[in-house]
Each structure stands twice: as C-alpha cells, then as structure tokens.
Structure 1
Amino acid sequence: MVTGSDRGAPADSHSAVSDAVTLHVRCYPETGGLQTLTGWPSAHREAVTGVSDAMRTLASEIETRTSFDRVYWRVEPMTPVDLSTGPGLEDGTDHTDTEDVDPVTAMTDRFYRHLEHRETLTGTGCHLLLAWRPFDSNLGYGTTPSAYRRVGRRAGDAVTVANIGATEMWDTRAVTVNIAIHEVLHTFLSPAAARTVVGVGCDHSLGTVRELEDGVREVSPMATAYAGAGTEGTDNDTRFSGTGCGHHADFYRHDGVEGVHTWEHTTKMSEGTLEAASQYVEDTFGE
C-alpha cells in the first residue's frame, strides 16, 4: 500500500512556502465486518492504493497547470473507526440518531466527532471513511456531505465516505477503487470549477464514458455509477445508479450507451477532472 508522497511532502498540509501546497488525504476503515480481522483486507488496501495513485497524478497535473512551484501529495492509512462507540455515546450526549436527523447525516457527523476526538483534523485535509455497509440503501455507494464537502485553506477539513462494503458485494473491485477515488475527488472540486470546464456545476459531468470497441465502454472515476444512469432500457455500469446530478449530454465525454454489453472502469482521471481540480486548488490554496 502506498502511504505517502514520493515528492517529500512537508509535515503540514500547506507548506510554509506560499508557492507550495499538499494534497492531503487520510483514510479510515470502518469496523464492523472487520472487527475480527487483523491487518487491512485487500479491498481496503486496493482502495487506498487507488486513491494514492490518483493523488500522485493530480499533484503532478496541478503543478503543471497552475502557478504553484511545488504540489505535494500525502495519503495516510489511519487506524479503524468504530462509529458505534466513541465521543458522546458513553455518556448519552450524542443525539444524532433522533428521528429528525437523516441517518447519513448522523453517520458523517459522528465520524467528524471521532476525528475531533482523535485530534486528526488538519484544517486543510480530506478524511475518507471506507464504510462497510453493503445493505445501507440510505448511504448507497457513498456520500460527500455538504457540511464538510470541500478541502482547502479557506474551506477547512473535508469528510467523505466510500461504501466499499456495497461495491464489494454488488459490483467489482474495479468499482470499489473507482468509488474511493470518486468520493475523494468530490472534495477537490467545486460547482464553479466544473462549470468553467463543462458548462454545468455538476462534478459528475467531469467524468468520461469512452467507447473502446463496439459494445464496450470505459468509465473514469467521476462518471462511475453514472455512466448509464437515467437511460431507459440500459443497464448502468454499476448494480445501482448514482442519485446525484449527471446528465449525459453534459459529460466531458460520453460516447453513448447504445448496444453496451461490457462496462470497464479505469482509474485514469479525465482531462476535465484534472483541469477543474487544478482550478479549484489554485483558487482555494493560492494567495
């Protein structure tokens, strides 16, 4: 598993030098099905490796496309999180499971409280929960809650969740890896940056669906779960379709769904994703 930067990332997420920045992601497995296991199962290891590869590429691209002299990256595997215990639960002060609180909001709020309790918030980092909830229809494949949606010196810490329990049960390992990358990328994008690239504020539309040959489509991370979504009579690239925005006509590239019999997934980010993320990071971390 790749655990850090090959570019010598400084200790802080934003370096002391104004012309350098670090893309910092911390990854936390959720306990539950993992409680009796030692070490990280392969699904979690491959998800983190995929995120690491994506951050390495993104850092290199941002350095090329922006005014930063150096762009570093850091992806850290962290100790597991058990959301059934922890801050507020022992003394009964946690009220996130009340009827007027959405269950997904409750889960992400509790995760954030765990991060506060652990003192792992950095002010400029992304915190990825690798959830193991294969039957959680409310969570679906994951979420990036609006309360903690974007990372940056002016935005603060971001929290995001990839439900790899669902992708492992209902889909494939390639989908698991792409969903982990997908949810992390949400925190390095914004509607404004997406709009400058694809004309709409939906960051799913930064993804690509490419025709490799007749009947075969290749799906990039931001398009994963949306490649065939909303198209009547066509299977999606995942067992369940994403429920967010993503009109196919707005995609950076979408080669259609007619006659598709095979969906493949690539961890390679689209040119649109790289450009929009570069704009967001420069606007957010730049002086």
Structure 2
Amino acid sequence: MGPGFDDRPSERASGQWRVTRREALAAIGGATLASSIGASRTATDPGRDAPVRIRVYPGTVPPQARLRYGLDALHRDWPAPFRDALAAIDSAFEQVLAYARDRARLESLEISVERGAPIRFPPSTTPLSVDAVLPSLETLLERFRERLRNRDALTGRACHVFLRWSPLNFRVGYGGTLAPNSITGERDAGDGDGGDAQTVANVGATEVWDSRAVTRNMAIHETIHTFLPDDIVAAIGDAYCDHELGTAVRTDEVTLEISPIATAYAGPDRIGGGTRFHGTGCCDRNRFYRHDGTDGIENWSYTTDLSEATCEGVTRYLERRFDS
C-alpha cells in the first residue's frame, strides 16, 4: 500500500493478540536456571501525568554464551546483546515521540525506557516438568509476572520487557506476549494488577540463529506489540495485524530492508526466509504498509527505523490511553 492513513473504523471486534512463535526448531537440552533472585524495586502510584515506563530486564546468560562477548561479559548482567536490545527499544520510542511532536501531538507525554533488575528463576521454585526445562511462552510470562508482583513493580502504565537467553527453546521462539497482559495500560475488569503489559524477547535465539541486527529489531518488535491494540491497527490503511504496519523496501535489485514490526514476517514462509525462522500467525504481504516483493532477493538487511504507519499506530494509542 502507499503512504497515507485511512481513518475508517475497525470492521472487526478487538481480539486477543496472536503470539509470535517459531516452532520450526527441534530442541534438545534445557534452559539455564539461575539460583538467585534480582533485587526488588518498589513501584509508586504513578498518577495521570507520570511517564509511561518501559522497563527492560536481563535474564540469565550461561557463562559459555557470555564468552562470545569477551571476558568482561562474565561479570556483568548486561552483555553486549542485551545492551544493544535496550538501546534499540529506547531509540524506537524516541522515533515515536519525534514523529508525534512533528505533528503537534503528545507534546506533554514522557516515555521512560529504563533498566530493570535481573530476573532469575531459582530451580527450587520450579516443579520438575517439561516446563522446568523448556518453558512455554505462557509459563515464562507467568513466572515473569510473579517476579514483578513480588517486587511491587506493577504501576498500571508500564511495559515490562524480559530479555531471555533460550536459543534452543522452540516453545518461546523469538518471543511474544499474551493476553490479558499484552497491551500497555489496558486493564481487564477484576484484574487486580492489570494495566502493565509484559513481553519476552528471546535474544539468545536471534543471536545464535540470526544476527545482532535481528536482535535489535526483534527487541523493538516484541515491545511495540504492546502499544498496538487491534482496533488501532485495523484503522490504519489495509492492515489486519500489526506486522502489516511494517515495511520491506528494496535497496537494490537483490536486497530487501526490513523494519522492526515486519521482522520475521516480511520474507517467504520457510526456514531462511529473511530470519532463520518465519513468524506464524497473521500477516499478508499484500497488506503491508510497503512491501516491494521477494522475487530475486538474495540479501536481507534490517533497519531499526520504524515505518510511518507503526509510528502513527503507537501515537494513536498513546493519545487515547495516556494523553487525553
């Protein structure tokens, strides 16, 4: 589709998020479990004028994986891939605010991207089961939520991003989020700690199977999901799901450059179609904000620049939920 936005109302009811999963990889072995819990952090009542917070938490990275990034990484909670993922998320929301303020929108809204304390899952708290070795996305998000509750970190207007290192866990894939905690600021009736979204970005998978560029884009991708509810997405152009707000632009005859929300969805539905594993669920390349086709494409590159449609979608949601 071409540039410009359609303000038509959504023709479908607001639904639940489809979850990004990569189940093409057969896994043998388990995820590393640490033996300590990170320091807790107390949340305060944020109030209407408080910043919208995006808090990013590092998970456990086994020593043999840390050695990929030098001896110094053995003693830090934030090895280079995690630092780059955090910086990419920060840059993405700077782009959103720049887009909005160029149009005299969101002029008083503050977004704060912060480091959270490390997340650890002691083996003693995990019953012996398949989920103890290869946790599903649902199980991982439940454990993450419990840690956030224990730290009193839920504010009602925050997105919590867990950077996971699980390159062999096909049940988590590249990451994802699940209802009812899939949209930042949305609170279900009867949900005592609702309003805080949570998501997982499997940095281990992107680092081992893809590249640092894909790591950056998927960290943005999984975070941006939590600011794009279905009705907002459906009101922008031809999009049915948020992946279609992304772009795939030919930079030469054999190279396609992919924006963050389109990463893992812009290529052909096969192993090696851009990213090593292709996203499952929604998306139709004919409905992308821009897709230049994959015929003759041999090289895939990734930009952290958000598409105009992605910025518009996030801006509309921030206006509705936090700036009215």
TM-score, structure 2 as length reference: 0.75
What corresponds to 1:4 in structure 2?
none
Question: Can you list the C-alpha shifts for 1:139-188, whole angstroms capped at 9, x where unaligned?
Answer: 11011112210002656000000000000000000000000000000011
Q: What amino acid is aligned across from residue 268 of structure 1 in structure 2?
A: D
Percent identity, please.
38
Q: 1:32-71: CA deviations, max 9, x gaps? A: 4269932211000011011111111112223444653312
* Correspondence list, 1:86-125, <5 A: 89=125, 97=131, 103-125=136-158
Give the equivalent residue in structure 2 for 1:250.
287
How many residue pairs align between the two structures?
A: 264
Closer, same or farther: CA 46–13 of 1 in aligned 2, 3 Å: farther
Tell me which of 34, 41, 52 is aligned to 1:23: 52
Aligned to 1:170: 209
1: CA distance, partners of 2:214 / 2:316: 27
Partner of 2:108: 70
Q: What CA deviation, in whole Å up to 9, does each residue of 1:222-249 have, x standing for no partner?
A: 000011143x7x9411000011311100
Displacement of 1:12: 7.1
Q: Which runs of 5+ in 2 are unaligned?
A: 1-43, 67-72, 188-193
Within the candidate set 80, 94, 98, 1:56 is matched to 94
Of 262, 281, 284, the residue aligned with 2:318 is 281
Cα distance, 1:170–1:285 mapped onto 2, change above 3 Å: same
Structure 2 CA distance for aligned equivalents of residues 198 and 83 of structure 1: 42
Distance 1:74 1:188, change over 3 A: same
Question: 1:270 corresponds to which residue?
Answer: 307
Aligned alpha-carbon RMSD (Å): 2.6
Q: For the Cα contact (< 8 Å) 1:63–1:70, is it kept in 2?
A: no
Q: Which residue of 1 aligns with 2:120?
A: 82
The answer to whether the Cα contact below 8 Å between 2:173 and 2:205 also exists between their aligned partners in 1 is yes
1:220 counterpart = 2:243: no
Q: Tell me the amino acid that sits aligned with residue 113 of structure 1.
A: E
Write the deviation string for residues 7-26 of structure 1: whole angstroms up to 9, x where unpaired. xxxx976553xxxx733210
Letter matched to residue 282 of structure 2: C
1:210 & 1:117 partners in 2: Cα distance?
44
Matched to 2:55, the amino acid is: R
CA distance in 2, matches of 1:227, 1:134: 22
1:191 aligns with 2:224: no
1:13/1:262 Cα in 2 relative to 1: closer, same or farther (>3 Å)? farther
TM-score, length basis structure 1: 0.84
How far apart, in 1, do the equivalents of 2:148 and 2:137 lie? 17
1:140 maps to: 173
1:221-236 matches, cutoff 5 A: 221-230=260-269, 235-236=272-273
Q: CA deviation at 1:281?
A: 1.3
Structure 1 range deviating more: 198-207 or 39-48? 198-207
| Structure 1 letter corresponding to 2:195 | G
Is residue 152 of structure 1 aligned with residue 202 of structure 2? no
Distance 1:169 1:282, change over 3 A: same
In 2, the alpha carbon distance for the partners of 1:130 and 1:83 equals 13
